[in-house]
C-alpha cells in the first residue's frame, strides 16, 4: 500500500463504485472517517492519466489565446472583415474567458469539478468547430465569444482537480508540468499559427487553427470521462447568483475599457467605467461578507485572503503578468510589424524563450522552490532583468538590421527567468487553500492572471504606441540629410523638389505611425503626389523599412525598461511571500473538511 496519501474523504472525491469496491456501503467510509478523521485515503491510481487530459486541455486553451493573433490578417482577407470585427474576434475571446473564470471555478466546487470540466471541454470543442466553419465575420465573432466562455468554465477545473487529486509531495510535480505546458503554449502559438497559415494545409488556411481543436477536444471528452475522478466541496454549497452578477458587471466595467481602450481612442466613458468598477467590486465584497454570515455559500471565500501565501501570491502574480502582458504584445508588434518578419519566422525566433522556460519550469517547482523558497523566484527575477537588459542593448545596437540570432541569448535568459518565476506561482497561491474552495481559488488565480494581461495590454498603448510617433519622427530626421542626397543623385530630383519629397515623406510616415490600424493609408500619404513617382518611391523604400525598424525598436526598448521596473517591484513583493513553501498542506483545514464530510 502506498505511503503517500491525499487529504480527502469519500464525500469530497466521489469514486466510482467499482473502484471503491462493490461490497462497501456508500456510507461505510463516511462512518469510518467520523470515528477517525485522521485516517488516510489511498491516492487515485489514475491521477497521472487524468493529469494528461488536464494538461492537453489547458494547452488547447492557451494555444487558442495566441494562435488567433497570427491568423488575423488571413481571416480579414477571406471573410472581408473590418478592423473592428477582427478586434472582436481576438478581444471577445479574452473578455468572455476572463468574466467566466470565477463563476466556473465555483460551479466545479458545487456541482462537481469533473462534470463542469467535461461541460467546458464539450462547449469549447463545439465552438471551435463552428469557428472553423464560419462563413461570415459575425459568425466567427459569436463562436469566439462562446469559445472564450466555455474556456472560462473549463480552465479553473484544471488547477482545482490537480489541487485535490494529488498528494502534497506530488502536487509540485503536477504544477510544474502545468506551468511548462502554459509557457510552451503561449510561445508556440506564434510558431504553430504561422506554420498553419503559411502552409495552408488541406486548403483550410486560418480555419485549421480552430478545427485542430476538435479531435483534441473529443480525446479530452472520451479519455477524461474514464480517468478523472469526480470531486466537489465536502459540504453542500449554493450558487451565489447575486455575487455572480456583481462580479461579472464589475469585471466587465474594468476589463472591457482596458482591452478596447486604444481602439476607442481612450474615451472619458472608459475611465468612468473603470472607476465605477471599483464601487461595484466593493459592493461585491460586502455582499460576500453578508453571504458568509447568512448561509456560508459565498462565490468567493474571503477568508482565503487572510492566508499569507494566497494574498501575497496573488499580488505577485498580478504585477508579474502585467509585465508579461506588455512584453508578449509588444514583442509581437516589434517582430511582425517593426521588423516585417513573417509569422513563421517570428514564431521560430521565440524558440530560445521556449527552451529557457522549458529548462526552469520543472526544476523551479520540484527543486529550487522546495530548497530555496522565495529566494529561487527572486533569482529568477534577476535573470529576467538580465535578459531584458540584453534585449535592450541588442535592439539599440542593431536597429532594423537585427536578426533572430542576435535575439537568441536575450530571449533564452528571459525564458529562464519567466519559467523560474511564473511556474511556482499557482502552487504558492493555492498551497494552503482548503479543498472545499479549490475551484473558487483556481478561478481567482486565473482571473488575476487575465486581469494582469489586460492591464499589460492597455499599458502597451501608453508605453509603446505613446512614443512611436515621436520615435518615427526622430528616425526620419536622422535619415533626412542622406535621403536628400539620394533623391537628387539617384531619383534625379532638384534640391527644392527633394526637400518637398522629404517633408512629405516625414508627414506621411509619422501619420502612419499614429494610426490604430497599420493597414490604413493616411490622407497625407495618398495626397502627396511626389511620393507616388516611381523613382522617388524606389529611393524611399529602404528608408521606410529602416524607419519602421528603428522606431519600433526604440519604442520596444522603452517597453522593456518599463518591464524591468515592474520586475523590480515583483522582486521586492516576493519578500511578502512565506520564506518556504508549505509542504505538508493545511492540516487543520483538511481535518475540518474530513469531519464535515463525515457528517454530511
pLDDT per position in the chain (600 positions), as tens? 333 333 333 334 444 433 334 344 433 333 333 333 333 456 778 889 889 999 888 888 877 766 777 777 778 778 887 766 777 887 788 888 888 988 988 898 888 999 999 999 999 999 999 999 998 888 999 999 999 999 999 988 988 898 888 887 788 788 878 877 776 676 666 667 667 777 777 777 788 888 888 998 999 999 898 889 888 877 767 888 999 999 999 989 988 888 777 777 788 998 999 999 999 999 999 999 998 888 888 888 888 888 888 999 999 999 999 999 889 888 878 887 888 887 778 777 888 888 888 888 778 888 888 888 899 999 999 999 999 999 999 998 988 889 999 999 999 999 999 989 988 888 888 888 887 777 778 888 888 888 888 888 888 888 888 888 899 999 999 989 998 888 888 778 888 888 888 999 899 999 888 887 666 788 888 888 888 888 888 888 888 889 989 999 999 999 999 999 999 999 999 999 888 766 544 444 433 333 333 333
To 5 degrees, how large is the angle CA 382–CA 362–CA 441? 90
Residue 13 main-chain phi, psi, to 5 deg: -115, 105
HSE-up of 28 (CA within 13 Å, CB side)? 8
Alpha-carbon distance of 288 to 54, in angstroms, equals 30
SS3 570: helix
- List, in sequence order, every residue forming a beta bridge with 231; answer none if it has no partner: 13
Alpha-carbon distance of 289 to 303, in angstroms, equals 10
Q: Match 522617388 to its residue by C-alpha cell.
A: 536
Question: Mapped to the 3 state alphabet, what secondary structure does 532-552 carry?
Answer: HCHHHHHHHHHHHHHHHHHHH
Alpha-carbon distance of 126 to 120, in angstroms, equals 10
HSE-up of 217 (CA within 13 Å, CB side)? 24
Nearest to 352 by CA among 191, 550, 551: 191
Alpha-carbon distance of 474 to 467, in angstroms, equals 11
CB 6 within 8 A of CB 165: yes
- pTM value? 0.80
Classify the C-alpha dihedral 547-551-553-554 as positive or negative: positive
CB 209 within 8 A of CB 193: yes
Amino acid at each position: 500500500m502506498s505511503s503517500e496519501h491525499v487529504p480527502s474523504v469519500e464525500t469530497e472525491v466521489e469514486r466510482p463504485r467499482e473502484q471503491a469496491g462493490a461490497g462497501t456501503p456508500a456510507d461505510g467510509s463516511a462512518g469510518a472517517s467520523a470515528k477517525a478523521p485522521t485516517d488516510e485515503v489511498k491516492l487515485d491510481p489514475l491521477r497521472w492519466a487524468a493529469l494528461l487530459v488536464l494538461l492537453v486541455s489547458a494547452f488547447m486553451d492557451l494555444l487558442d489565446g495566441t494562435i488567433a493573433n497570427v491568423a488575423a490578417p488571413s481571416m480579414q482577407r477571406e471573410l472581408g472583415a473590418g478592423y473592428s470585427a477582427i478586434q472582436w474576434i481576438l478581444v471577445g475571446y479574452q473578455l468572455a474567458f476572463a468574466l467566466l473564470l470565477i463563476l466556473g471555478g465555483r460551479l466545479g466546487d458545487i456541482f462537481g469539478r469533473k462534470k463542469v470540466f467535461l461541460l467546458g471541454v464539450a462547449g469549447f470543442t463545439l465552438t471551435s468547430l463552428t469557428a472553423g466553419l464560419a462563413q461570415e465575420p459575425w459568425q466567427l465573432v459569436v463562436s469566439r465569444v462562446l469559445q472564450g466562455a466555455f474556456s472560462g468554465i473549463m480552465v479553473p477545473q484544471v488547477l482545482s482537480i490537480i489541487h485535490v487529486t494529488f498528494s502534497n509531495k506530488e502536487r509540485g510535480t503536477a504544477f510544474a508540468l502545468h506551468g511548462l505546458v502554459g509557457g510552451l503554449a503561449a510561445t508556440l502559438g506564434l510558431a504553430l499559427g504561422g506554420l498553419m497559415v503559411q502552409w495552408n494545409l488541406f486548403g483550410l488556411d486560418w480555419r485549421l487553427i480552430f478545427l485542430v481543436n476538435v479531435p483534441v477536444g473529443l480525446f479530452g471528452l472520451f479519455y477524461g470521462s474514464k480517468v478523472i475522478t469526480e470531486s466537489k466541496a465536502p459540504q453542500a454549497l449554493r450558487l451565489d447568483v447575486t455575487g455572480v452578477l456583481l462580479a461579472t458587471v464589475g469585471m466587465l466595467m474594468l476589463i472591457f475599457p482596458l482591452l478596447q481602450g486604444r481602439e476607442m481612442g481612450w474615451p472619458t466613458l472608459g475611465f468612468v467605467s473603470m472607476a465605477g468598477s471599483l464601487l461595484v467590486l466593493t459592493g461585491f465584497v460586502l455582499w460576500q461578507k453578508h453571504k458568509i454570515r447568512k448561509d456560508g455559500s459565498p462565490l468567493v471565500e474571503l477568508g482565503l485572503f487572510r492566508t499569507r501565501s494566497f494574498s501575497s501570491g496573488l499580488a505577485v502574480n498580478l504585477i508579474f503578468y502585467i509585465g508579461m502582458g506588455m512584453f508578449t504584445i509588444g514583442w509581437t508588434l516589434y517582430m511582425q510589424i517593426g521588423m516585417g518578419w513573417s509569422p513563421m519566422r517570428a514564431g521560430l525566433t521565440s524558440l530560445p524563450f521556449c527552451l529557457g522556460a522549458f529548462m526552469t519550469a520543472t526544476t523551479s517547482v520540484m527543486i529550487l522552490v522546495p530548497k530555496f523558497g522565495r529566494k529561487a523566484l527572486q533569482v529568477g527575477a534577476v535573470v529576467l532583468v538580465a535578459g531584458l537588459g540584453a534585449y535592450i542593448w541588442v535592439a539599440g545596437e542593431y536597429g532594423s538590421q537585427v536578426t533572430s540570432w542576435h535575439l537568441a541569448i536575450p530571449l533564452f535568459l528571459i525564458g529562464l527567468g519567466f519559467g523560474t518565476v511564473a511556474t511556482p506561482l499557482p502552487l504558492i497561491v493555492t498551497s494552503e487553500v482548503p479543498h472545499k474552495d479549490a475551484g473558487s481559488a483556481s478561478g481567482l488565480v486565473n482571473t488575476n492572471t487575465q486581469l494582469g494581461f489586460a492591464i499589460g495590454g492597455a499599458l502597451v498603448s501608453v508605453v509603446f504606441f505613446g512614443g512611436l510617433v515621436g520615435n518615427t519622427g526622430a528616425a526620419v530626421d536622422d535619415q533626412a540629410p542622406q535621403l536628400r542626397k539620394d533623391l537628387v543623385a539617384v531619383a534625379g530630383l532638384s534640391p527644392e523638389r527633394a526637400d518637398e519629397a522629404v517633408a512629405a515623406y516625414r508627414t506621411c510616415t509619422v501619420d502612419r505611425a499614429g494610426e490604430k490600424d497599420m493597414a490604413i493609408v493616411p490622407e497625407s500619404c495618398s495626397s502627396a503626389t511626389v511620393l507616388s513617382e516611381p523613382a522617388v518611391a524606389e529611393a524611399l523604400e529602404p528608408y521606410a523599412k529602416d524607419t519602421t525598424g528603428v522606431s519600433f525598436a526604440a519604442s520596444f526598448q522603452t517597453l522593456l525598461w518599463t518591464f524591468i521596473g515592474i520586475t523590480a517591484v515583483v522582486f521586492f513583493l516576493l519578500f511578502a511571500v512565506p520564506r518556504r513553501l508549505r509542504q505538508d498542506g493545511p492540516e487543520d483545514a483538511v481535518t475540518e473538511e474530513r469531519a464535515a464530510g463525515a457528517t454530511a
